[in-house]
């Protein structure tokens, strides 16, 4: 539920991400999946993305406690002018990891980490051509 008129970015965060201390919404796992295999593959995807962009930011892991804590921490290392692009790319990556998790669980099909990275790059290219995202480096 959205509290009384917060700013638009806060509403988005409140709507999309659990508020610490709320018991009615489970805290998202950083690896966006169940099981060690998915966790390891997600870390490899994030590492590959970091290498592709040549931007230094921490790889999501359980040391941050939540996806939100990781995201806040990672954004601090991104120049202010590029943070909106970093946020968009972060959402795209989590979406691709989620889709990969679902394919592994429901279809018993697993793409290689390289293929997932290719799909992420394709997504970013499409979003760039639409003017929705730029560079983060």
- Looking at the structure of the chain, the number of domains it has is 1
Per the domain annotation, does 11 fall within a domain?
Answer: no
First vs last C-alpha separation in the chain: 35
Per the domain annotation, does 87 fall within a domain?
Answer: yes
Per the domain annotation, does 14 fall within a domain?
Answer: no
Per the domain annotation, does 3 fall within a domain?
Answer: no
Per the domain annotation, does 13 fall within a domain?
Answer: no
- Whether residue 67 contacts residue 60, with contact meaning beta carbons closer than 8 Å, is answered with yes
Q: What is the CB-side half-sphere exposure of residue 75 using CA atoms within 13 A?
A: 17
- The pTM (predicted TM-score) of the whole model is 0.69
Asked if pLDDT for residue 11 goes beyond 50, the answer is no
Per the domain annotation, does 26 fall within a domain?
Answer: no
Residues 27-38 have pLDDT tens digits of 444 344 444 566
Domain residue limits at 88: 31-129
Helix (H), strand (E) at residue 132 = none
Q: Averaged over 21-44, what is the pLDDT?
A: 57
Residues 52-110 have pLDDT tens digits of 999 889 999 888 888 899 999 999 999 999 999 999 999 999 999 999 999 999 999 99
Per the domain annotation, does 9 fall within a domain?
Answer: no
Q: Averaged over 113-137, what is the pLDDT?
A: 91
């Amino acid at each position: 539920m959205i509290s009384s008129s917060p700013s638009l970015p806060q509403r988005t965060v409140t709507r999309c991400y659990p508020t610490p201390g709320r018991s009615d919404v489970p805290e998202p796992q950083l690896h966006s999946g169940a099981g060690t295999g998915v966790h390891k593959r997600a870390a490899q995807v994030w590492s590959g993305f970091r290498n592709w962009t040549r931007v230094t930011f921490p790889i999501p892991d359980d040391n941050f406690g939540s996806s939100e804590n990781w995201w806040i921490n990672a954004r601090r290392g991104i120049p202010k002018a590029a943070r909106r692009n970093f946020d968009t790319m972060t959402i795209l990556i989590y979406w691709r990891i989620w889709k990969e998790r679902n394919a592994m669980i429901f279809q018993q099909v697993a793409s290689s980490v390289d293929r997932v990275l290719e799909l992420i790059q394709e997504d970013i290219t499409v979003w760039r051509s639409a003017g929705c995202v730029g560079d983060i480096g």
